[in-house]
A and B are shown apart, each in its own frame.
Chain A
Amino acid sequence: MTARERIAGNVAGYVDDRTGAAKWMKKNLTKVFPDHWSFLLGEICLYSFIILLASGTFLTFWFDPSQREVIYDGGYQPLSGLKMSAAYASTLHLSFEVRGGLLMRQIHHWAALIFMVGIVVHLLRVYFTGAFRKPREFNWIIGVGLLTLGIVEGFLGYSLPDDLLSGTGIRIAEAIIQALPVVGSYIAFFAFGGAFPGEAFIPRIYTVHVLLLPGIFLALITVHLMLVWYQKHTQFPGPGRTEKNVVGYPLMPIYMAKAGGFFFIVFGVTAFLGAVASINPIWLYGPYTPGQISAGSQPDWYMGWLDGLVRMSPPIETHAFGHTISWNILIPGLILPGIMFTLLALYPFIESWATGDKREHHLLDRPRNAPNRTALGAMALTFTLVGLLNGGNDIIATTFHLTINQMMWFSRIGIVVLPPIAFVITKRLCLSLQRADRELVLHGRETGRLVRLPHGEFVEVHEPLSPEKAWTLTAHEQLAPLELPEFDGAGVRRAGAIKNKIRNRISRATAVAVPKATESERRELEGHH
């Protein structure tokens, strides 16, 4: 035994005497993780969260979260002598006088964007592959919670510098609060410590941004990861992979090296963006004052779709009995997003209700093999994208020489018409892809080699698929539709007959599929050739 081994052994022994960790570590160091590029998306979120904590802590050392009015006398000449809040002035100080300050600000902002993109793409991966199904519903809900909090956290973060652009964002947030029936103006006055903008809001959201929400994030992310660890990762279908096993590489050393390395890659890419790609140059916007604004005011992209919904809203307000209800704010700003996030959170339960499938699933679906789910996802995505597009309607209009009215009417009509079209097209596409898979399994791969037969006929040679590939393309199950009876044995309409009818219909729509190729069919075809 070398000296080094002896020391390591002593340390490990010391820790294990007090924690008994060896048994747990022994088992978990060889834990198996399946490999697929799309499983890295969640990792990107985790790593950018760590980058956010580190870079954010750095920023707090110089940032002064105060709306106290100061006269700027720092290094950025164009704003010299101007009145501004201490928050804005300290952000300028960070950007121009603290070495690495601008870099850290930009890394922090880029990491926030990557965090949000990561969450959304990770969510799409989980959705389209059906990874949310039993037993992973809790983790799905935690994920939706993280997405929602991420949007809030991001908004609060870019509001902190108190520049003209972000102040305008806060103004809009205040108007949404103020629009709440009955309690709106009270809640707004409590939140802002009086009338807008006041001097209380930035210090308050600072506490929420750097303490409260990160704490909740940390707790939720921990539970999210513990559940992934405990439940083991899902895997794509393939040779040797079943619902009962998990095929991949052990944590030590492969996964440690890969995941650890990937953290540094994400951090490196974020640092590169922070170094070369200017983001949120607040000195160009100037300090916030409610009497001014800059053209082309835009939120960050993850708020953009909400802003787009607000922009396209028809001008409806109700005035009755001495009160006002602003539907033009409430519907796009609160009601629609509320419905969307609720449906998103409940989706696993809705799907299992509709299909009647209450079993555990550890093998992922290929999106084409769940046409209805995929089409629904495409529909929701289209809705959100039209909203996002309209969130940038002014920029798009000036870039492509359209009028703002054309953009707005395109969105107003598009948000109703395009999602159903996306549903239909996606569903057809999925079924066509299923058909293509069937073709491939039955007839093999097209080689592009033409052969002339003795009697003059030309045929293309097809190469049979490998057994692995053929299995991968046919490993999915095809569920039969639910047939809940409308009448019981005695011919009496059962209770809940209407509910069952709806369930039957949805279930039938879900079960539409191209029958997958079977060995029997393959053999029969071989007989013909």
Chain B
Amino acid sequence: MSNEIELIKDPGLPAHVHRRADDDEKYAKRAETQVSILFLLSAFGTVLTIVSYVFIPTDKFIFIPVMGETNAEQLLLGLGMAIALFCIGAGAIHWAKTLMPDNEVIAERHEFRSEDEDRAEFVKTVKAGASAAGLGRRPLIKRSLGLALGLSGLTPLLLLRDLGPLPKENLQKTSWKAGTRLVTDPGDRPIKPADLEVGAVAQTLPELAPGEERTLNNIGKDAVLLIRLRPEDFNLDAERLSWTHEGIIAFSKICSHMGCAVALYEQQTKHLLCPCHQSTFDVTRAAKVIFGPAARPLPQLAITVDADGYLVAKQPFTEPVGPSFWERSS
């Protein structure tokens, strides 16, 4: 045998295999019937859609296993549409596969690359055009045009300025002030320490001055969680301990990671968990992060009681609440 390596050869396009419908009119006829049945089924689907739209009341619910209580009209409208559309598609494809010619065809590819002369022509044309305009010879025009175009790009940027106000102190401050009462959310009722049992959690907001409206923007910064533990459960330094009242501790409910509401409290472990990214905070240690991506504890709100015995903030938050931002200093 020779040492020359001989590769396996391309046998070329295989001969066309006839389908039954190609040779036998009986099968062709059968395929025709099948295609027509599919198209007729589609027509039935549209009729079903129309009937459901007209005759089924909008508030009619039916029980269907697996799906549960289901709106009958929406379901039948959808099923009608599905049948109508699917069967048109199935019919067309069945038609193509059984009755249309299935001979494979060979087409040659063309080369994308332009001929060398064309490329050269192109370069020449561009050069001629540029020199006719005098782009190279008149630098003053070129430069001033560049300046004008560059500057005109500033206008849209400038016009976007009024999209919003500057942040200023907005991210740094909340509505909490010394003496602001904590009220329940929802309900807006002031809270006495006795309202909270050990182990209880309450979602609170600052009390509104008369005539004041609460916006979502306020809630987004002011939401505070109250949690009552036994005082001996705390593991806090003296200052932070003085921010609690009879075992009640208050934290910003807005996650220090990405601002979700930190709403899951595990009574047994005394952990607060953010459902978005599972940052976990230890309530007994001033919401220290013990797991997850958050890098800072939840800010603690110092609380005490006022003359009437209601819980109030002792002072504003000592740091910005919510997710970090560039201007945040700690």
- A258 with B96: CB separation less than 8 A: yes
A389 at the interface (CB under 8 A from B): no
- B323 with A264: CB separation less than 8 A: no
With a CB–CB cut-off of 8 A, which chain A residues contact B1?
Answer: 520, 523-524, 527
- A475 with B170: CB separation less than 8 A: no
Chain B's closest residue to A105 (CB) is B74
**Segment at the interface with A among B117-125, B132-140, B258-266:** B258-266
A32 to B291, alpha carbons, bound, how many Å? 59
Chain A's closest residue to B274 (CB) is A293
A161 to B61, alpha carbons, bound, how many Å? 24
- B106 with A240: CB separation less than 8 A: yes
A242 to B109, alpha carbons, bound, how many Å? 10
Q: Assuming A520-B4, A522-B8, is B104 touching A248 (CB within 8 A)?
A: yes
Tell me the minimal C-beta distance from B185 to chain A in angstroms. 6
Contact of A32 among B10, B53, B100, B105 (CB under 8 A): B105
Pair count A-B, CB < 8 A: 342
0 or 1 for each of A183-194: is its CB under 8 Å from B? (1 = yes): 111101111111
- A315 with B294: CB separation less than 8 A: yes
A60 at the interface (CB under 8 A from B): no
Q: Assuming A271-B78, A275-B75, A520-B6, is B165 touching A239 (CB within 8 A)?
A: no
B2 at the interface (CB under 8 A from A): yes
With a CB–CB cut-off of 8 A, which chain B residues contact A240?
Answer: 10-14, 106
**Segment at the interface with B among A4-12, A249-257, A495-503:** A249-257
With a CB–CB cut-off of 8 A, which chain A residues contact B100?
Answer: 253-254, 257
A487 to B267, alpha carbons, bound, how many Å? 71
A102 to B293, alpha carbons, bound, how many Å? 37
**Secondary structure of the B contact surface, majority rule:** loop
Contact of A290 among B95, B106, B164, B216 (CB under 8 A): B216
A267 to B78, alpha carbons, bound, how many Å? 11
With a CB–CB cut-off of 8 A, which chain B residues contact A145?
Answer: none
Q: Assuming A275-B77, A293-B260, A328-B295, is B217 touching A197 (CB within 8 A)?
A: yes
With a CB–CB cut-off of 8 A, which chain B residues contact A404?
Answer: 273, 278, 291
- A174 with B259: CB separation less than 8 A: yes
- B292 with A194: CB separation less than 8 A: no
- B164 with A289: CB separation less than 8 A: no
Tell me the minimal C-beta distance from B95 to chain A in angstroms. 6
- A408 with B291: CB separation less than 8 A: yes
Tell me the minimal C-beta distance from A249 to chain B in angstroms. 7
- B79 with A272: CB separation less than 8 A: yes
- A471 with B9: CB separation less than 8 A: yes
A179 to B257, alpha carbons, bound, how many Å? 10
- A326 with B164: CB separation less than 8 A: no
A470 to B14, alpha carbons, bound, how many Å? 13
Tell me the minimal C-beta distance from A175 to chain B in angstroms. 4
A456 at the interface (CB under 8 A from B): no
A172 to B7, alpha carbons, bound, how many Å? 59
A441 to B9, alpha carbons, bound, how many Å? 12
Contact of B108 among A30, A245, A253, A262 (CB under 8 A): A245
A75 at the interface (CB under 8 A from B): yes
- B77 with A518: CB separation less than 8 A: no
With a CB–CB cut-off of 8 A, which chain B residues contact A315?
Answer: 279, 289, 292-295
Q: Assuming A268-B82, A268-B87, A474-B7, is B253 touching A291 (CB within 8 A)?
A: yes
A194 to B112, alpha carbons, bound, how many Å? 52
A393 at the interface (CB under 8 A from B): yes
With a CB–CB cut-off of 8 A, which chain B residues contact A517?
Answer: 8
Number of interface residues of A (CB under 8 A): 123
B229 at the interface (CB under 8 A from A): no
Contact of A180 among B106, B185, B293, B326 (CB under 8 A): B326
With a CB–CB cut-off of 8 A, which chain A residues contact B187?
Answer: none
Contact of B254 among A243, A290, A360 (CB under 8 A): A290
Chain A's closest residue to B3 (CB) is A520
- B13 with A239: CB separation less than 8 A: yes
A163 at the interface (CB under 8 A from B): no
With a CB–CB cut-off of 8 A, which chain A residues contact B82?
Answer: 268-269, 271-272, 275
Chain B's closest residue to A230 (CB) is B112
Chain B's closest residue to A35 (CB) is B104
Q: Assuming A265-B90, A329-B323, is B258 touching A171 (CB within 8 A)?
A: yes
- B278 with A362: CB separation less than 8 A: no
- A317 with B160: CB separation less than 8 A: no
With a CB–CB cut-off of 8 A, which chain B residues contact A468?
Answer: 11, 14
B89 at the interface (CB under 8 A from A): yes
- B329 with A518: CB separation less than 8 A: no
**For chain A residues 162-176, which have a beta carbon within 8 Å of chain B?**
168, 171-172, 174-176
- A272 with B78: CB separation less than 8 A: yes
A107 to B82, alpha carbons, bound, how many Å? 11
With a CB–CB cut-off of 8 A, which chain A residues contact B7?
Answer: 474, 518-519
Contact of A261 among B53, B96, B295 (CB under 8 A): B96
With a CB–CB cut-off of 8 A, which chain A residues contact B4?
Answer: 520
Contact of A197 among B12, B220, B223 (CB under 8 A): B220
- A246 with B109: CB separation less than 8 A: yes
B116 at the interface (CB under 8 A from A): no
- A441 with B163: CB separation less than 8 A: no
Interface centre among B6, B67, B325, B329 (most CB of A within 10 A): B325
Contact of B81 among A102, A271, A520 (CB under 8 A): A271
B86 at the interface (CB under 8 A from A): yes
- A32 with B107: CB separation less than 8 A: yes
**Segment at the interface with B among A152-160, A294-302, A349-357:** A294-302
Contact of A520 among B2, B75, B77 (CB under 8 A): B2
With a CB–CB cut-off of 8 A, which chain B residues contact A242?
Answer: 10
- A186 with B86: CB separation less than 8 A: no
A1 at the interface (CB under 8 A from B): no
A485 at the interface (CB under 8 A from B): no
- B295 with A317: CB separation less than 8 A: yes
With a CB–CB cut-off of 8 A, which chain B residues contact A102?
Answer: 71, 74
**Segment at the interface with B among A114-122, A306-314, A335-343, A367-375:** A306-314
With a CB–CB cut-off of 8 A, which chain A residues contact B109?
Answer: 232, 243-246, 362
Tell me the minimal C-beta distance from B167 to chain A in angstroms. 4
Question: Top 3 closest A-B pairs, CB basis?
Answer: A275-B78, A268-B86, A261-B92
| Interface pairs (23), CB distance under 8 Å | A106-B78, A168-B260, A172-B258, A178-B171, A182-B326, A193-B164, A193-B165, A195-B220, A198-B164, A240-B10, A247-B13, A248-B104, A254-B101, A263-B89, A267-B85, A275-B74, A275-B77, A289-B219, A291-B261, A316-B295, A317-B324, A323-B329, A467-B8
Known contacts A100-B77, A275-B82, A467-B9; can you find 16 more A-B pairs with CB under 8 A?
A: A99-B77, A103-B77, A106-B78, A172-B276, A185-B167, A185-B326, A195-B171, A245-B108, A245-B109, A264-B85, A275-B77, A288-B216, A290-B223, A311-B293, A315-B295, A520-B5
